[in-house]
């Protein structure tokens, strides 16, 4: 290990500073473009990594992070930048990637960029002093960093996790240990309804046998009467996957509801629901407005999840087809349609690519496709089936502009033109940005 003075000449897509050490490019957390810093260099065979020891010359964009865990945690990559600079960083990132496709609209930011996450996942572990700790895994490791409170998640969730740890202690329940496979409680997952104020607590455990279960639940509810449902999820596999297959409702109805764009959605432990409800309304309204639906269209919502876009779009379309691979999400989507008394939507449990291949074989007429794929983007099977279907327009929503750009490249080479690009800051203080693009058939 040695310490060297360096100048940061740029930033990567994750918000890490770029420096040169011994002629090699190194990506460093907590370093902004233009800054001079002393860094500690660690070299392992072919791999060089560096850690900031001291900032010698600060950037005008640097602010003191409000979070005491910022350096250790790694969950928020940009807390050392002012919020205006974060927005500018994200704007430039999207402009650079989307340059071949046209002008990028100004990013839509948050008025209050704190405490916005409606879903938190806390991992439990045994601390050095035998105390139960909770937090997130340190980057590239399975060491849990203890975090008492988080500036980007619902405050009530932090209080509930603290109570779970306290009750565990009095019930002598041990956190699960990955190495030995011993211990009971693995994780706590909390989902909160932004409009409904409903709270779901999911206790992820290693065994069906829950010692003192009824008293544990009773005590948790005494401390937090605001909790509306508690679910036990059993995950007895040696895996980094958080949720297991088996679930048991211990209290309440086993799900929560929330309202988004005037539709009510049922959210279960396994279903995907956007984590920032304020910005999700803005994002979805932008996406639906881009489509300029008149009430005559047949709309396909690929990767439809629990039916959020499908149901919101259904009010302005003739009919909507939603397709989703996760069967739990499809079950929720069907219930959500009934709950909202919406009858012009059909949901299918299928791989989006396979489903669309069949639609194109059947020569089904689709006017508009909404697609919101996972971070990995779409595959060629899906994209080629869109091209065969020939919808008039595609609304592509993505949380990963790199894979989105790759897919736009394919679509623009196969008969489509990008007409609008709108970034939305869904994840303040992190390097992630959501982008919605409108493509029209040439």
Q: How far apart are CA 317 and CA 319, in angstroms?
A: 5
Q: How far apart are CA 401 and CA 54, in angstroms?
A: 32
394 DSSP β-pair partners: 369, 439
**Nearest partner of 183 among 199, 196, 194, 172, judged by Cα:** 172
- Please, are residues 243 and 270 in contact by the beta-carbon 8 Å criterion? yes
HSE at residue 353, side-chain half, CA atoms within 13 A, is 9
As annotated, the active-site residues are 399
- Please, are residues 193 and 156 in contact by the beta-carbon 8 Å criterion? no
302 DSSP β-pair partners: 323, 371
Q: How far is CA 257 from CA 5, 250, 339, 357, in A?
A: 53, 18, 10, 34
Q: How far apart are CA 112 and CA 428, in angstroms?
A: 9
Q: How far apart are CA 175 and CA 386, in angstroms?
A: 47
């Amino acid at each position: 290990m040695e310490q060297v003075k360096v100048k940061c000449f740029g930033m990567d897509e994750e918000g890490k500073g770029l420096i040169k050490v011994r002629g090699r490019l190194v990506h460093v957390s907590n370093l902004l473009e233009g800054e001079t810093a002393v860094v500690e260099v660690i070299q392992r065979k072919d791999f060089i990594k560096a850690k900031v020891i001291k900032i010698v010359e600060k950037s005008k964009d640097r602010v003191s992070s409000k979070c005491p865990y910022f350096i250790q945690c790694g969950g928020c990559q940009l807390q050392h930048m002012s919020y205006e600079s974060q927005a500018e960083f994200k704007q430039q990132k999207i402009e650079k990637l989307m340059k071949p496709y046209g002008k990028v609209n100004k990013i839509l930011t948050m008025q209050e960029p704190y405490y916005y996450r409606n879903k938190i996942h806390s991992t439990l572990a045994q601390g050095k002093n035998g105390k139960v700790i909770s937090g997130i895994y340190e980057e590239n490791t399975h060491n849990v960093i203890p975090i008492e409170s988080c500036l980007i998640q619902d405050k009530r969730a932090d209080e509930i996790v603290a109570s779970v740890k306290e009750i565990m202690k009095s019930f002598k329940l041990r956190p699960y240990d990955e190495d030995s496979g011993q211990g009971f409680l693995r994780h706590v997952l909390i989902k909160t309804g932004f409009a409904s104020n409903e709270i779901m607590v999911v206790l992820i455990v290693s065994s069906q046998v829950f010692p003192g279960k009824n008293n544990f639940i009773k005590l948790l509810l005494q401390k937090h009467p605001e909790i509306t449902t508690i679910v036990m999820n059993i995950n007895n596999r040696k895996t980094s996957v958080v949720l297991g297959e088996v679930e048991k409702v211990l209290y309440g109805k086993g799900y929560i509801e929330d309202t988004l764009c005037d539709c009510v959605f049922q959210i279960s432990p396994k279903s995907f629901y956007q984590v920032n409800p304020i910005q999700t309304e803005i994002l979805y309204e932008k996406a639906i407005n881009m489509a300029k639906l008149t009430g005559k269209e047949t709309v396909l919502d690929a990767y439809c999840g629990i039916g959020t876009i499908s149901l919101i779009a259904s009010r302005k379309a003739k009919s909507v087809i939603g397709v989703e691979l996760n069967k739990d999400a499809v079950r929720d989507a069907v219930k959500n349609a009934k709950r909202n008394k919406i009858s012009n939507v059909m949901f299918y449990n299928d791989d989006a690519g396979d489903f669309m291949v069949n639609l194109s074989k059947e020569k089904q007429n689709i006017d508009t496709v909404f697609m919101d794929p996972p971070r990995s983007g779409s595959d060629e099977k899906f994209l080629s089936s869109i091209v065969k279907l020939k919808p008039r327009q595609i609304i592509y929503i993505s949380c990963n502009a790199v894979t989105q750009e790759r897919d736009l490249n394919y679509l623009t080479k196969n008969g489509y033109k990008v007409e609008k690009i709108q970034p939305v800051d869904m994840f303040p203080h992190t390097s992630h940005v959501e982008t919605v693009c409108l493509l029209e058939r040439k």
